[in-house]
Structure 1
């Protein structure tokens, strides 16, 4: 079985390395030589291709790309890769894209007799590197069952949500909740400081209350230590919140809190914090 991988950066790179570590024959396409070298260092079964269309020999294709339009431009537009893949091959996308784009890709894939699976990722690069990334999957149930051995190599636990729309919607909603929670946490830390509460004590005690959260444990200490090094960038957060707010509008539901949160991350990006970790939202609330 030949596996192709497009998008070997912060999240895609660890997934590709996990496949290579498992002895799978993996063909990677990338533009960043440092990323390419890092993936190839995982084992001898990794290979590179110079052209995306060279991946048409693969039985399974993975993508892990930053934007819905990036996915479309590579897979559909200008005689994209979906036009080149073998009949019956499987396309697994681990990107965060909107449901409407997913429907468009699914219809296009069906027309070309390619099985399309949405496989969204629940946490970050550290979990991806150790194959402990929660996976939220949508698509044809029979194909999902068929590729479970492959999915188990890149993440755990693996959850089946139904169609591709459900998989992408879940990921977007999860990010909306998590990043809005982070904005509230940053605001709370500012208030604690104004009340002259020791910041380390504040974070410790907050974990014993209803204010506890994943963001508290993951990013509270980073804020306290003024560590805004990128783990998940402000600009990526802004992208996901924009996708979420647009999705909510498509569903005829007003995303009041997420929209306000999106505005704050927009402000953080405009102030030059776009490449910093999303916890840099703390800076715009000062």
Structure 2
């Protein structure tokens, strides 16, 4: 199967590499051509200088870029993928976007005879590098089944959530849950620190119980040590939580914790922490705890 991959960021770069390892013929495109060339040298795939060259012969085109506007630029613009893809080919967007954009892309794809699925991923850079991402999909069951060999190359789990857009809505729930866990973990660590508990011993005690989570196992120790220079940057989380709040407004509900967390992340970004990992939330929570002390 000829597969094209557009977007070689911290997620896309290893994901495209796993496709080569799984036996697919892979061509990549990245706006910074040097990165695409380096990827081709590392994995033995092909790179293209233009989107047109990348997708023209592809059976499946995968995108993993930054935000809604980036996706439109790579897919529905005059120089985007849909202008050059073969009828009957498949476009899959792994970017975390709004559900409305997923529905927009499905309509644009249908107009040119291309099938579409929204498929945002969770698991972070480590999940992409280790090929164990969780993939939340929106689209037709037959298309989902056809894409399983592709998803299996870099995913541990892929689940069809419903029609187009439902994959993105599932990802919104994922991000809200992460925000909640980080809020609770931050407050717990602050109490532990003030009470003189050893964090490594505490994590070893709690991680296999009801309080255990990926965030506790992978971020509690680094949060306690004020190390945040890795992982998923808060500027991306601000974008994602914005999608959550917009969707909540469309559903006629409020998400108070999500609103507060998004506000805290915006404040952290404004003070220069925008590229820090989302676990840097503990700094905002600690500041609030000191204000009320």
Judge same fold: TM > 0.5, yes or no: yes
Cα pair distance change 1:152/1:212, threshold 3 Å: closer
Q: Which ranges of structure 1 fall in alignment gaps of 5 or more residues? A: none
**Do the aligned residues in 1 keep the contact of 2:68 with 2:101 (CA within 8 Å)?**
yes
Give the distance between the partners of 2:46 and 2:205, measured in 1 at CA: 50
Give the distance between the partners of 2:135 and 2:52, measured in 1 at CA: 27
How far is the alpha carbon of 1:184 from its aligned partner?
2.5
Secondary structure at the residue paired with 2:95?
Answer: coil
Q: Which ranges of structure 2 fall in alignment gaps of 5 or more residues? A: 287-293
Give the distance between the partners of 2:260 and 2:284, measured in 1 at CA: 13
Q: Deviation digits for residues 65-118 of structure 1, max 9, x if unmatched? A: 110121112211335321221111100111101111111111111111110011
Give the distance between the partners of 2:41 and 2:280, measured in 1 at CA: 33
Query: 2:178 matched to which residue of 1?
Result: 178
Secondary structure at the residue paired with 1:57?
Answer: coil
Give the distance between the partners of 1:239 and 1:180, measured in 2 at CA: 16
Corresponding pairs, count: 285
Structure 1 segments of 4 or more deviating over 6 A?
Answer: none
**Do the aligned residues in 2 keep the contact of 1:9 with 1:35 (CA within 8 Å)?**
no
How far is the alpha carbon of 1:239 from its aligned partner?
1.1
1:49 aligns with 2:48: yes
How far is the alpha carbon of 1:210 from its aligned partner?
4.1
Secondary structure at the residue paired with 1:91?
Answer: strand
**Do the aligned residues in 1 keep the contact of 2:238 with 2:265 (CA within 8 Å)?**
yes
Query: 1:197 matched to which residue of 2?
Result: 197
Cα pair distance change 1:43/1:183, threshold 3 Å: same
- What is the aligned-residue RMSD (CA, Å)? 1.8
Larger displacement relative to structure 2 (162-171 or 178-187) = 178-187
Query: 1:238 matched to which residue of 2?
Result: 238
Q: Deviation digits for residues 222-275 of structure 1, max 9, x if unmatched? A: 112322122111111111111111111111111111111111111111111111
1:13 aligns with 2:24: no
1:278 aligns with 2:278: yes
How far is the alpha carbon of 1:37 from its aligned partner?
4.4
TM-score normalised by L of structure 1: 0.93
Give the distance between the partners of 2:15 and 2:206, measured in 1 at CA: 34
Cα pair distance change 1:2/1:209, threshold 3 Å: closer
Q: Deviation digits for residues 42-83 of structure 1, max 9, x if unmatched? A: 433x11111112122212110001101211122113353212
